Amino acid sequence: MTFRVGFGSDVHQLVVGRELWLGGIRIEHVKGALGHSDADVLLHAICDALLGAAGLDDIGHHFPDTDVRWKGADSKVLLAQVVELLKEKGWTVGNVDSTLLLERPKIKPHIPAMRKVIAALLALDIDAVSIKATTSETLGYVGREEGVCAHAVALIQRA
């Protein structure tokens, strides 16, 4: 068995007038993330962790923001396509660990639903999908609620 690890990181601006999608679910909030797709920063970080582990470039390479196909795209579709790309190379996902950084709203109540969605997309048990959330203690762009950030690591395996 061959194992690889990958790391992914993403940032999106938070603005009034956009929906907030995080970890594949919509969260009620006064601001949403700005982006070409639904701007789901957590799913984007996980996509990049998986692509990175497989040495398959990054999310911007596979789903360019100049391509109208991805305008307003559901990032769950992007993650499902990433899983397919890995599958074509013989990779399956072992586990994912991630951290969301945002000041508001409180993410903890939404984490079980996010884990369920992501586990289904990655064909994993829920305990193989970890999501943590932290604030930035009012510091920086996260602390000023100007943006949201996510980091993720993933392990993939191939027989």
Q: Write out the residues near Mg ion by the rule CB under 5 A.
A: 10, 44
Q: Which lies closer to Mg ion via its Cβ, residue 81 or residue 92?
A: 81
Q: Which lies closer to Mg ion via its Cβ, residue 10 or residue 103?
A: 10
Task: Report which residue's Cβ sits closest to Mg ion.
Answer: 44
Exposed e or buried b for every residue in 7-43, given b needs 16+ CB within 10 A? Answer: ebebbbebeeebebbbbbbebebebbbebbbbbbbbb
Least spacing, CB of residue 127 vs Mg ion, in Å = 26
Least spacing, CB of residue 105 vs Mg ion, in Å = 20
Q: Which lies closer to Mg ion via its Cβ, residue 69 or residue 137?
A: 69
Least spacing, CB of residue 18 vs Mg ion, in Å = 13
Computed from CA positions of residues 66, 16, 75, 77, in that sequence, does the dihedral angle turn out positive or negative? negative
Q: Which amino acid is at 14?
A: L
State both tokens at 95.
């586990």
